[in-house]
Amino acid sequence: MSIVIVGLGNPDTEYKGTRHNVGRAAVQAFAKKFDFNDFEFDKKSNALISEGKVGKAKMILVLPETFMNKSGESVRKYVKSVKAAAELVVVHDDLDIALGKAKMSFNKSSGGHRGVQSVINHLKTESFYRIRIGISPSTAKGVIKKPSGADLIDNFIVASFKPKEVDELKSINKKIVECLETSATDSFARAMGELNGAF
């Protein structure tokens, strides 16, 4: 069985570098560090796929080429059962976490994230891992300034990061890459403990 890592985001170039695409960017950073094969389009799953190994673990990286709210259509081609979902990590943006932070969780609800909900709907389980990347601004004391209102949120998540925020994102991506490496070479439990303990 291979570990499946999914980076959620929107496929068009206009969304590159936006808040909603941080999951996709993190998985691409992981692929680059470990010299995975170039991503290739798989027509059957409508996703960009790259395969490789980290340590002894075989890994499949999946970047759905659907829009966010249909991500599960691509994921179900690589995760065939509830048992297999235990080897799945979905990496995505999270409005409830401050920019510069990330959390790993298992068997949680979507929290309103449409991409995650699509994965849950298609796999018929919540029993998979998620790496949630913070995208909301915060005060100097760390209080999250989460946008409210459907229109405001929709505009916020597809907006590009400011230059200072890009630097923060690079720092967090490094930790996420390390987390995914630990998931492959040690265990998901250790990876989760180390990432969550870093913040």
Catalytic residues: 20
- Give the three-class secondary structure for 59: strand
Distance separating alpha carbons of residues 78 and 90, to the nearest angstrom:
12
| Among the listed residues 9, 62, 57, 10, the one whose alpha carbon sits nearest the alpha carbon of residue 31 | 62
Distances (CA, A) of 177 to 5, 109, 146: 11, 24, 26
Distance separating alpha carbons of residues 133 and 151, to the nearest angstrom:
21
Distance separating alpha carbons of residues 94 and 172, to the nearest angstrom:
13
| Among the listed residues 195, 173, 2, the one whose alpha carbon sits nearest the alpha carbon of residue 87 | 2
Backbone φ and ψ for 17, nearest 5 degrees, come out as: 85, 10
